[in-house]
Amino acid sequence: MKKLVLAIAFIGIGGFAMAQQTTTPQDKEARRAEMHQKMEQKHQKHLEQMQKDLNLNDAQVAQIKSLHETRKAEMKADFEKNKVARQAKMEDMKSKRSQMDADMKKILTPDQYDKWQADRKAKMEQRKVAMKDRKMMKKPMNTAAPEAK
């Protein structure tokens, strides 16, 4: 009985492992384009809803659309401007981490250093899992699109 349960478990795990797909750059581009299209549709629906709720005329809708586009361009420019600073900060953190590694290697014995590295790697994995779980908890339970009225 135990062997049967183990065999079924291994088959199930194997099936899940085989089902994992690797993403290619084309897949990422397609997903990005799809997401961009959905965001545009959502933005358009939002504008239509604002027009209906606030009883806006066409000129007001055009002005609001222009305002949103301007704001979007500003945000993108700010993001690009801060990108260099973020990269510099990441490089600084990497150099500090490598310096700490070198210092720890001098202080610890080889066995202690290996154990310290393994513990650090395990803690990093735990943080990744915790962050992933936190993201999953924030997602709405019902991801289906609302029905049109």
Could you read off the pLDDT of 15-70 as tens digits, one per residue?
665 555 566 778 888 899 999 899 999 999 999 999 999 998 999 989 999 999 99
Task: Please give the average per-residue pLDDT across 121-126, as a whole number.
Answer: 94
Q: What is the b/e burial string over 67-93, where b = at least 16 CB atoms within 10 angstroms of the residue's CB?
A: eeeeeeeeeeeeeeeeeeeeeeeeeee
148 — pLDDT class (breaks 50, 70, 90): very low
User: What DSSP string runs through 7-68?
Assistant: HHHHHHHHHHHHH--PPPHHHHHHHHHHHHHHHHHHHHHHHHHHHHHHT--HHHHHHHHHHH
Contact predicate 43/68, CB 8 Å: yes
Torsions phi, psi for 109 (to 5 deg): -75, 165
Neighbour count for residue 118 (Cβ, 10 Å): 10
* Contact indicator for 65, 47 with CB cutoff of 8 Å: yes
Its pTM stands at 0.46
